[in-house]
Structure 1
Amino acid sequence: MREIMKSVSHLQASQLLHNKFIVVLGDSIQRAVYKDLVLLVQKEKYLSLRQLRSKGEMTFEQDCLVEGGCLGQMHNGTEYKEVRQFQSAHHLVRFYFVTRIYSRYMKSILEDFRHGLKPDLVFVNSCVWDISRYSCSWVDDYKENLHRFFDELREALPEETLVVWNLTMPLGERIKGGFLVPEIEHKAPQLRYDVIEANFYSGTLADAYGMDVLDLHFQFRFSLHHRMKDGVHWNAVAHRKITSLLLQHAAEAWGVILPCPVTVYDHTEVAEEQPTYNSAPKHTRPQTCHLEANGTQRAALPPKPHHRNQYRETRNGFDYRPPHRFEPYQEYNYQHVMRSRHARHHYAPYTQHRPFYYGYNGGYY
């Protein structure tokens, strides 16, 4: 089965995130988001099935395990921790595994933001563990924790930091996973409906707090063939699409033209060892496109879609005006990504504060 989608290339990702500090917060889905991002800034390749399934390993594609994972006890409890970091000469990407959107552990992460290096990009989601592992009546607790998290996150980060809240992806009718311990297996049939309700609350609150929202539940409603057999996780093609959506939105927020030509993918070829684009069959080879900041090259605009995001329609206008050398995207190019009401200035504090004595992948700071 072939599928058409827009994909960001390795060159575009590497240039767009040059001298940027990116933080990914969340569960195992977000960990795969982190892994695909780390892979894409280094090479034109998909994640393998083994890489998608692994957790807590000492190293992945030249990153390092900073805390938790196999350095401690591997388990499926709510206290499981895993902090990973990839550092190169011009990229810094960090991942925190969290099982609850607001907790003592999350407060310690926010303290890192207050007193440490300020991230340029934050991709965050926490939902499935929140609504299944802590309380049968999860609604009030989840809402209150979201309020606390967004309050403190807004206070801990500078206004220029771009925060994207990812709505939880569709769950299957029959699910199994690390979070679904025997004690809560009876919740499995109802959980996919609870996720829809939780997405509504979290998306609305994130918008109210000025965060950007990427509706992955909507984006993947017709891509269920990319979901794994456990009904929870997703394959490498799905994660490349997530990465592309996130980077396309970051580029637009920073006023960078990021043309992504349509690419045809054969998802049946996504197996244990993923082929690189250079070795892929002809029909899977993406067109070459480079990151342009002057607007001289640009992909043809797609037809205006008939469906529009209800949050952006009713609440969110994107009023950012980039520098004169940038040509902003047309509003309908990203109809399912809500935009913040605040300008996101293109800045890079990472290069000014990065200590010279940290070697390649050498430190956590």
Structure 2
Amino acid sequence: MKSVSHHQATQLLHNKFIVVLGDSIMRSVYKDIVMLLQRDKYLTFKQLKSKGEMSFEQDCLVEGGCLGQMHNGTEYREVRQYQSAHYLVRFYFVTRIYSRYMQSILEDFRSGLKPDVVIVNSCVWDISRYYSKWIIDYKENLHQFFEALKEILPEESLTVWNLTMPLGEGIRGGFLVPEIEHKASHLRFDVIEANFYSGTLADAYGMDVLDLHFQFRFSLQHRTRDGVHWNAIAHRRITSLLLQHVAQAWGVIMLCPMTAVGGFHVRTNCSYPYATNTFSSAMDQLRSRGSFYNGGYSEEFSSDALPFNFMNFQENNLQPQTNHNEAAAPYSRQQNRNGIEYKHPHHSEPYNELQHQSVMRSRHSRNHYAPYTHQRPKQYDRHGRYY
């Protein structure tokens, strides 16, 4: 699978506000996005395992975490934010898809800056920590969350609902307190059922759906020994899937030329998202040469031994459509400016939903615009409070 590079990510998310909502896996999704916006590097074992720290890669802890009491209860809070001159990325730790706390988050969106991209998932805590018969409660909360989000966010905002990744047969983790250990044996089946409900409802509400359960069903070697969390390679793949989906929704074409991966030349086909198995083939070639292999569900993250340029396609040209301003090129023609081609979103290649109905869905193209460039008259302190 082709990977999104640091250069592509910085151009795609330039002047964008990204919000990530969810549990510890979504926190790692946030961290990987923050890392990729700064450099082509993978998260370390310590970075993936840490929670509630004061700072991660120049971000700041806004609320909760080590500022309060660290615990594994449903009331645990953690709000993180990475802010620079052209990027704003925020993470909220949530244990339930709709609650009083979620309502307060939505109020932040209503009264403050509207996010351009919302990446959200909430499932494992919902179906294990609140009610034994979780189906009715979970579906009702999903309805309320999607309705509120649709009401608050403008049409241009892109919401991507991530389906929960596969759980292991024997799981352990922070959310699995002694009171619910009896649920561990069948929780992986409950996740599949919950994914069906949440994916169907998200699609009905016009949200975009990314099926990470499907994407990682044959990548279980990248799951850690606790049966819940995933390593740095898996999280970079999640980031690539998300950014490729965002690019499609905005009508942005990201070219992936031939590049060297571990001494082998690999060509990716960007006109078809899953036409080549670059990720699997490169792994097989590296294994055969003894460059990298971690065959079991080890505690260590296998990315620590990975070559630096693995899955990173350097010198890729990003081709976003024009912004809606006076300097924009007319939609009726293409214009090459500093190596960037501007193109009307309706002329970009659409996602082939007929061949991948259960994998990824994009309801319609969103306008590519800079939402808060003119709302920032001065440079904010990088570690200042969020706004």
Please give the range of the TM-score, normalised by the shorter of the 2 chains: 0.7 to 0.9
1:163 aligns with 2:186: no
Alignment of 1:300-319 (within 5 A): none
Q: Spell out, residue by residue over 1:255-305, the C-alpha distance to the aligned partner (whole angstroms, 9 max, x if none).
A: 11013444635563885884786x55xxx374424233279xxxxxxxxxx
Q: Tell me the TM-score normalised to structure 2 length.
A: 0.80
Kept in 1, the 8 Å contact 2:8–2:254? The answer is: yes
CA 1:334/1:61 → structure 2, altered by over 3 Å: closer, same or farther?
farther
1:32 aligns with 2:15: no
| 1:51 equivalenced with 2:47 (yes/no) | yes
Distance in 2 between residues matched to 1:139 and 1:123, nearest whole Å:
23
Q: Cα RMSD (Å) of the superposition?
A: 2.2
SS at match of 1:21: strand
> 1:338 and 2:361 equivalent?
yes
How far the C-alpha of 1:160 sits from its partner, in A, is 0.4
Q: 2:110 maps to which residue?
A: 114
- The percentage of counterpart residues that share the same residue type is 68
In 2, distance between residues paired with 1:286 and 1:343? Answer: 27
Contact 1:171 1:192 (C-alpha < 8 Å) held by counterparts:
yes
> Which of these residues, 290, 303, 307, is aligned with residue 316 of structure 2?
290
Q: Number of matched residues?
A: 330
Q: Which amino acid aligns with 2:383?
A: N
Structure exhibiting the larger radius of gyration computed from Cα positions? 2
1:294·1:325 contact (CA, 8 Å) conserved in 2?
A: no
Corresponding residue of 1:347: 369
Pairwise CA distance, 1:363: 2.7
Post-superposition offset of 1:350: 1.9
- Tell me if 1:64 matches 2:21: no
Match of 2:378, as an amino acid? F
Q: Which deviates more from structure 2 when the two are superposed, residues 328-337 or residues 257-266?
A: 328-337
Q: Which residue of 2 aligns with 1:147?
A: 143
Per the alignment, residue 233 of structure 1 pairs with 229
Are the aligned partners of 1:174 and 1:189 in contact in 2 as well (CA < 8 Å)? Answer: yes
Q: Distance in 1 between matches of 2:346 and 2:182?
A: 56
Aligned-partner Cα distance in 1 for 2:243–2:311: 20
Stretch of structure 1 that moved more, 105-114 or 267-276 = 267-276
Partner of 1:268: 293
Could you tell me which residue of structure 2 aligns to residue 301 of structure 1?
none
Cα distance in 1 for residues equivalent to 2:18 and 2:163? 18
Letter of the 2:205 counterpart: Y
Please give the alpha-carbon distance, in whole angstroms, between the structure 2 residues aligned to 1:285 and 1:29.
Answer: 21
TM-score w.r.t. the length of structure 1 is: 0.85
- The answer for unaligned runs of 5 or more in structure 2 is 257-267, 269-277, 287-291, 295-299, 322-342
1:251 to 229, 247, 252: 247
**Are the equivalent residues in 2 in contact too, given 1:293–1:325 (CA < 8 A)?**
no
SS in 2 for 1:141: helix
Matched residue SS, 1:331: coil
